[in-house]
Amino acid sequence: MDIALIGRIIPVFVQAAWTTVQISLLSLVLGLAVAALIAGLRLSHLAVLRFIGAAYVSVFRGTPALLQIFLLYFGGPQLGIQLEPFAAGAIALGLNIGAYMAESIRGGVLSVDRGQMEAARSLGFGEGQSMRWIVLPQAAKLMIRPLGVNAVALVKGTALVATISVVELTYTAQRFIGSTYKPFEIFAVTAVLYMIMVYGLTLVIDRLDRAYAEEA
């Protein structure tokens, strides 16, 4: 182990990890927005809307995230969509994780006993009101863990944007493995930074889940 090298490269890698955090947060926010919309479509009364929602989920979950990134970044200009690597990566990852998160949200809503909706309706709540005030608060608790699993997968998935030269953690690791010929030192530093993010996030999700469980 070349400790001196590790000391020298840490600042650069922390900087790169910050980019990983930024892209994770951006695509997480976008993904949650997409997921709420798609889950809404999938739970709709209209067959057309349900079909659109199901098609979105099927297409985005049925094809590799890597190709979704390439289609937007390399293929986008053919459709008049010209994006910087960072933006293209964040948007593609957000659209991708949105499909998975939509299923987590839908699963949560469907796990709430039907009787809850029926009772609320019979007490004079409207459809939307029942959803907003009775079903969703109960579903939210059930969504935390599956959404957390999605978020953890997203953090690791951000490595894919290295392929369109976003200077994040994996891209930086590849460059330094090539220039220093010290693969294990580089891997150690990179792995520690990823694991702080991944297991840190896991810890936060556990806390949230437990806090909600106690409330119930």
Partner 1 sequence: MQGLDFSIVPEYLPLIGKGLWWTVVISVISALFSIVAGMGFALIVLYASPVVRYPVRLFMWLFMGTPLLLQLFLIYFGLVQIGIDIPALWSGIIGLSLHFAVYNADIFRAGIASLDKGQTEAARSLGFGAWQTRLYIVVPQALRNTVPAVGNMMIALLKESSIVSMIGIAELVHSAQLVISETYRPFEFYLTAAALYYVLNLILEAVLRGIERKVELSR
Residues that bind partner 1 (CB under 8 A): 59, 62-68, 70-71, 74-80, 156-160, 162-163, 169-170, 173-174, 177-178, 181-184, 186-187, 190-191, 194-195, 198-199
Residue with Cβ nearer partner 1 (195 or 213): 195
Angle at 100 between CA 94 and CA 105, to 5 degrees: 105
What minimum distance in Å lies between the beta carbon of 59 and partner 1? Answer: 7
Distance CA 164, CA 51 (A): 33
Whether the Cβ atoms of residue 148 and residue 154 lie closer than 8 Å to each other: no
What minimum distance in Å lies between the beta carbon of 115 and partner 1? Answer: 28
Residue with Cβ nearer partner 1 (36 or 66): 66
Please, how many CA atoms are within 13 Å of residue 27, restricted to the half-sphere of its CB? 35
Distance CA 204, CA 121 (A): 36
Residue with Cβ nearer partner 1 (131 or 154): 154
- Six-digit token string for 10: 């840490």
What minimum distance in Å lies between the beta carbon of 105 and partner 1? Answer: 18
Residue with Cβ nearer partner 1 (130 or 158): 158
Whether the Cβ atoms of residue 185 and residue 12 lie closer than 8 Å to each other: no
Rg (CA), the chain: 21
- Six-digit token string for 70: 């390439």
Distance CA 104, CA 34 (A): 12
Residue with Cβ nearer partner 1 (36 or 52): 52
What minimum distance in Å lies between the beta carbon of 128 and partner 1? Answer: 34
What minimum distance in Å lies between the beta carbon of 68 and partner 1? Answer: 8
What minimum distance in Å lies between the beta carbon of 67 and partner 1? Answer: 5
How many residues are recorded in the chain? 216
Residue with Cβ nearer partner 1 (111 or 129): 111
Angle at 175 between CA 173 and CA 177, to 5 degrees: 65
